[in-house]
Amino acid sequence: MSLSRRQAIGLGVGGAASLLVARAVDQGVIPILGSPALKAWEDWNRRRHSGPLALVAAGILSASPHNTQPWRFAVGRLGVDIFEVPERALGAMDPFGRERLAGLGGAIHTMALASTGIGRLGTVRLLPDPEHPGHVARIELDTESAGAPPPHPLLPAIGRRHTHRGAWTGAVLTAEEIAALMAFPRPPEIGLRLFAATSADGQRFAAATTAATQAIAEDAAMMAASHRWFRHSRSEQDRHKDGLTLATSGTPPLLAAAAAMLPAPSAETEGRYWLEATREVHLPTASVFGVITAADPWHRRQGLLAGMAWQRLHLIATSLGLVAQPLNQLPEMIDRARQLGVASPFARDAALLADAPITFAFRLGRAAEAAGAALRRPVSEVIGAPARLGFEIDRAKAETAVRDAQFDARYPGRR
């Protein structure tokens, strides 16, 4: 049986469309149900974990640089320990681990909020073991529910918070929204400044960020380090469950589907795309730019505190119906110059925007469409050995001593 020209064209178009859909699915542009790399979001939103495991389920949904997820957790009856994983590093993009610590701080803060949802009072202790600096925090949980705080109002935002790298509306934020974004406690070492994208400082920030992005794109070592965390195929995404993808790059769906037909981009090509997106999408469509400052950006405790501040700010933005995206090119280039031991014009640019060193930069605003969920490793893949064993024994001894003392006071001479 012969085919007419119209039938042949129809089959060709249909075949191309089918191939496009198949490639889009393979690149993660079109999400599929049951993806193991997205299950962690569903686990939290459906409350599939309870007790201390619920803290881990919340913590893994936090933001981290390039979605490196540089954490490991040890869970015990009395709480959770959080450990840094230096191997999940960004190399020349983050030579001192400053951004890695910010990611860990975000997880710590999210877990502290999540402790209010399990009916147990949680206490955060940063860097609890001076001999092991990689032990970045311990969240201790009371065994009694009495006196525990009510669920924090930001708990619903944890499962809805996503980084939005696409085009926004540019709509002006209200004074009430700005006040709400600023209204959370910060330690004295950490500062926060917001300024309108159309202001003089906003224009200064945009120019400096564009220049910093171009410098990164032209730095082969930095782009190679960044490119290592790009997951191009679904098999890579399902295997690693981390890193950046085309689906979360902010590329419009139709363009992303078309891009999915192309071979995986090189680090150099990725740099050109990033510069173009920064200059033509991220900066022009923002409503507000902002910076988080630290008295010493390379101090480990302050790095954690800065990440905690960013996570809180992003959760507040989510609760207000706003979107957010880190734009850390400026502090990244300052770090790179420090690593190479050269003078940096970007340090001068940063000094014009804040009266303390900038450790985190970002944009805020409104978008017509919500951002998609990024890849996450589930709870089962981030729990380590029982590193809390000694702590558990010490706490058990202390609890026993208290009960013995209460018993002796109530029944003197009975033992």
Q: What is the pLDDT of residue 144?
A: 67
Mean pLDDT of 354-362: 98
In percent, how much of the chain has pLDDT > 70? 81
Indicate if the pLDDT at residue 81 is higher than 80: yes
User: What domains sit in the chain, N to C, each tagged with a CATH number?
Assistant: 39-381 (3.40.109.10)
Indicate if the pLDDT at residue 255 is higher than 60: no
> 354 with 193: CB under 8 angstroms?
yes
How far is 115 from 55, CA to CA, in rounded Å? 6
pLDDT digits (tens, 9 = 90+) for 394-406: 655 665 666 667 6
- Average pLDDT along the chain: 88
Where is average pLDDT lowest: 234-243, 356-365, 383-392? Answer: 383-392
Q: What is the pLDDT of residue 34?
A: 67
Q: What is the pLDDT of residue 405?
A: 74
pLDDT digits (tens, 9 = 90+) for 293-349: 999 999 999 999 999 999 999 999 999 999 999 999 999 999 999 999 999 999 999
Give the β-pairing of 71-76 and 358-365. unpaired
Q: Band of the pLDDT at 262, cuts 50, 70, 90?
A: low
Mean pLDDT of 102-119: 96
How far is 358 from 192, CA to CA, in rounded Å? 9
Handedness of CA 312, 100, 93, 266 (dihedral sign): negative
Mean pLDDT of 154-163: 98
How far is 232 from 98, CA to CA, in rounded Å? 27
How far is 166 from 370, CA to CA, in rounded Å? 10
Mean pLDDT of 143-153: 80
DSSP string, 121-162: -EEEEES--TT-TTEEEEEEE-S--TTPPPPPTTHHHHTT--
